[in-house]
């Protein structure tokens, strides 16, 4: 594999793409350490040292921003507005006929949808930036920090507007950097930047576990976490690569003097067809009650129940709700992203059929049956992987940013596999051996 990397850097155009991608990643990490104008950086660091309670509510966004959210830097919002906008557009495509028609137009329609995604990303960045500034000004970002209300000393309207514009511009710059990687680098740009944000927090989180450990100077806990991480990576790679291949046969047709069809192929249905989307949906939904309690400051019975059961990640009710939401969203997302009737109609149009299954409605019913059967183990796998940080929080006394958590491992392994496949395909085009022999 090291030889394959050496060959990749020996190829001039592939070396340029790899170096360009690495340069964008370095620039992206640099922006995650530049504070927003109007923020007292010393007070931010003091609050981060004093209390970690804010990370429970904002942990997901903080992870996707590479720790930039809680430091209130120009890249504080990270890539989350773009992810949210992409998911919303994907959901609206099923509901709005105009977007569905654009999706079917091919490249031109996809370009238009991408433009809508950019506009929605900017709008969401303005909304989220305003919420973040308001939270920082109120002192609620870091919980009970003694200097929490002094993070933004000047609370004038002008300062607030400048902070929101700066963070919105930072999100727009991240979106542009991601598109540059997609066009001129290796892999999907947004996925690479997401990979960079999550991987940047690994060294600090691992060292924190070592420092908090009590056995053999913390090295025993550190070793257990590394072994657990390797086992999870192996499990995620195994499941992410697993797929059910449904055979498809195309009938032979004569058009003029030429013969078409008569070939055999298959429809690959992945065990984890939904990817990491259900985990993001479930995490976001569980944050809403806690955020409502935090912003309203209510002392009612429902607020106390939320504080007792849905804020602490190690509570049984929280864990059960989280698991059930992931299973539900896995089925929901698969249902809207894969349309068996559309696949069956396309197969029928081009003379394709599944051996032993009649074309048309029986094919759609068969695809729905198989999809439901393989979604069950996929959703259960997602739920169990997502609960690993909570189990680690209880057993190892790790912090809430346990590095080998469900969302982080799923994204890192998925992006890593896709990037390696793309490099391998480019190597094989030049008659070189790929990474996998």
Taking CB atoms within 8 Å and a gap of at least 24, the contacts of 89-92 are 89/113, 89/116, 89/117, 89/120, 90/336, 90/337, 91/336
Q: Is residue 418 part of a domain?
A: no
pLDDT greater than 70 at residue 37: yes
User: Are both 196 and 248 inside the same structural domain?
Assistant: no
Q: Is residue 329 part of a domain?
A: yes
Q: Is residue 144 part of a domain?
A: yes
Of all residues in the chain, the percent with pLDDT exceeding 70 is: 83
Phi, psi at 73, each rounded to 5°: -100, 180
Q: What is the pLDDT of residues 301-345, one digit of tens each?
A: 777 787 777 766 667 888 888 889 899 989 988 888 888 888 888
User: Are both 162 and 237 inside the same structural domain?
Assistant: no
Dihedral-angle region of residue 434 (phi above 0 means left; psi in -120 to 50 means alpha; beta otherwise): beta
Dihedral in degrees, nearest 10, Cα atoms 280, 285, 287, 293: 170
Residue 405: name the closest of 276, 293, 250 by CA.
Answer: 276
User: Are both 280 and 183 inside the same structural domain?
Assistant: no
Residues of the domain holding 275 = 202-404
What CATH number is attached to the domain comprising 52?
A: 1.10.3370.10
Residue 418: name the closest of 113, 182, 197, 173 by CA.
Answer: 182
Predicted local distance difference test score (pLDDT) of residue 61? 67
**With bands split at pLDDT 50, 70 and 90, how would you rate the model's confidence at 1?**
low
Average pLDDT over every residue of 59-63: 67
Residue by residue, DSSP assigns 105-139 as TTHHHHHHHHHHHHHHHHHHHHHHHHHHHHHHHHT
Query: Who contacts 144 (Cβ-Cβ below 8 Å, separation ≥6)?
Result: 51, 53
Judged by DSSP in three states, 40 sits in coil
Predicted local distance difference test score (pLDDT) of residue 262? 65
Q: Considering its fold, how many domains does the chain have in total?
A: 2
Residue by residue, DSSP assigns 406-437 as HHHHHHHHHHHHHHHHHHHHHHHHTT---S--
Phi, psi at 67, each rounded to 5°: 85, 0
Cα distance between the two ends of the chain: 9
User: Are both 155 and 221 inside the same structural domain?
Assistant: no
Least confident of 22-36, 207-221, 422-436: 422-436
| Residue 141 to residue 339: CA distance in whole angstroms | 42
Structure tokens at 340: 């068996």
250 has which bridge partners?
352
268 has which bridge partners?
245
User: Are both 193 and 334 inside the same structural domain?
Assistant: no
Of all residues in the chain, the percent with pLDDT exceeding 90 is: 13
Q: What is the pLDDT of residues 101-124, one digit of tens each?
A: 888 787 888 888 889 999 999 999
User: Are both 291 and 436 inside the same structural domain?
Assistant: no
Predicted local distance difference test score (pLDDT) of residue 309? 73
User: Are both 166 and 57 inside the same structural domain?
Assistant: yes
Structure tokens at 44: 């931010």
| Residue 67 to residue 73: CA distance in whole angstroms | 9
Residue 297: name the closest of 407, 138, 415 by CA.
Answer: 138
Q: Is residue 427 part of a domain?
A: no
Report the predicted TM-score, pTM, of the whole model to 2 decimal places: 0.79
pLDDT greater than 50 at residue 178: yes
Judged by DSSP in three states, 396 sits in coil
Predicted local distance difference test score (pLDDT) of residue 169? 94
Query: Who contacts 306 (Cβ-Cβ below 8 Å, separation ≥6)?
Result: 289, 290, 292, 293
**With bands split at pLDDT 50, 70 and 90, how would you rate the model's confidence at 413?**
confident
User: Are both 167 and 207 inside the same structural domain?
Assistant: no
pLDDT greater than 50 at residue 53: no
| Residue 288 to residue 36: CA distance in whole angstroms | 26
Structure tokens at 136: 């920082």
User: Are both 118 and 267 inside the same structural domain?
Assistant: no
Q: Which residue has the higher pLDDT, 180 or 200?
A: 180
User: Are both 375 and 259 inside the same structural domain?
Assistant: yes
Phi, psi at 353, each rounded to 5°: -155, 155
**With bands split at pLDDT 50, 70 and 90, how would you rate the model's confidence at 397?**
low
Q: Tell me the pLDDT of the chain averaged across its residues.
A: 80
**With bands split at pLDDT 50, 70 and 90, how would you rate the model's confidence at 374?**
very high
Q: Is residue 246 part of a domain?
A: yes
| Residue 138 to residue 74: CA distance in whole angstroms | 20
The alpha-carbon radius of gyration of the chain (Å, integer) is 24
pLDDT greater than 50 at residue 190: yes
| Residue 57 to residue 304: CA distance in whole angstroms | 16
Q: Is residue 346 part of a domain?
A: yes
Q: Is residue 14 part of a domain?
A: yes
User: Are both 299 and 375 inside the same structural domain?
Assistant: yes
pLDDT greater than 70 at residue 207: yes
Instruction: Name the burial class of residue 417, with classes exposed (0-12), middle (13-18) and buried (19+) by CB atoms within 10 angstroms of its CB.
Output: middle
User: Are both 332 and 382 inside the same structural domain?
Assistant: yes
Least confident of 38-52, 192-206, 406-420: 38-52
Q: Is residue 412 part of a domain?
A: no
Structure tokens at 342: 């559309």
Residue 61: name the closest of 89, 91, 47, 81 by CA.
Answer: 81
**With bands split at pLDDT 50, 70 and 90, how would you rate the model's confidence at 54?**
very low
């Amino acid at each position: 594999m090291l030889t394959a990397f050496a060959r990749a850097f020996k190829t001039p155009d592939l070396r340029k793409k790899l170096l360009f991608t690495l340069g964008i990643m370095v620039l992206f990490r640099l922006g995650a350490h530049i504070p927003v104008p109007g923020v007292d950086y010393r007070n931010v660091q003091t609050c981060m040292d004093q209390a970690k309670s804010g990370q429970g509510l904002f942990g997901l966004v903080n992870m996707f921003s590479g720790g930039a959210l809680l430091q209130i830097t120009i890249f504080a919002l990270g890539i989350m507005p773009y992810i949210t906008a992409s998911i919303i557009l994907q959901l609206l495509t099923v509901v709005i006929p105009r977007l569905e028609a654009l999706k079917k137009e091919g490249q031109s329609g996809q370009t238009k949808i991408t433009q809508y995604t950019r506009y929605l990303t900017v709008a969401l960045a303005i909304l989220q930036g305003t919420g973040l500034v308001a939270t920082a000004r109120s002192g609620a970002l870091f919980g009970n920090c003694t200097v929490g209300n002094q993070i933004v000393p000047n609370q004038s309207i002008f300062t607030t507007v400048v902070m929101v514009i700066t963070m919105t511009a930072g999100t727009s710059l991240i979106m542009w950097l991601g598109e540059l990687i997609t066009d001129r680098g290796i892999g999907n740009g947004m996925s690479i930047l997401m990979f960079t944000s999550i991987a940047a927090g690994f060294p600090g989180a691992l060292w924190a576990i070592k420092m908090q450990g009590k056995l053999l100077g913390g090295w025993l806990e550190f070793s257990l976490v590394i072994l657990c991480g390797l086992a999870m990576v192996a499990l995620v790679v195994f499941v992410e690569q697993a797929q059910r291949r449904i055979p498809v046969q195309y009938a032979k047709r004569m058009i003029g003097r030429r013969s078409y069809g008569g070939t055999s192929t298959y429809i690959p249905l992945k065990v984890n067809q939904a990817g990491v989307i259900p985990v993001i949906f479930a995490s976001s939904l569980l944050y809403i009650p806690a955020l409502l309690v935090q912003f309203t400051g209510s002392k009612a019975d429902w607020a106390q129940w939320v504080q007792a059961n849905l804020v602490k990640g190690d509570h049984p009710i929280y864990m059960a709700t989280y698991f059930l939401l992931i299973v539900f969203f896995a089925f929901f997302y698969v249902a809207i992203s894969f349309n068996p009737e559309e696949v069956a109609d396309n197969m029928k149009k081009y003379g394709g059929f599944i051996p032993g299954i009649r074309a048309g409605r029986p094919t759609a019913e068969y695809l729905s049956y198989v999809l439901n059967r393989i979604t069950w183990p996929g959703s259960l796998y997602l739920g169990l992987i997502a609960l690993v940080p909570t189990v680690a929080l209880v057993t190892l006394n790790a912090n809430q940013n346990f590095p080998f958590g469900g969302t982080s491992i799923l994204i890192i392994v998925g992006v890593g596999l896709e990037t390696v496949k793309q490099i391998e395909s480019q190597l094989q085009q030049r008659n070189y051996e790929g990474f996998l022999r």
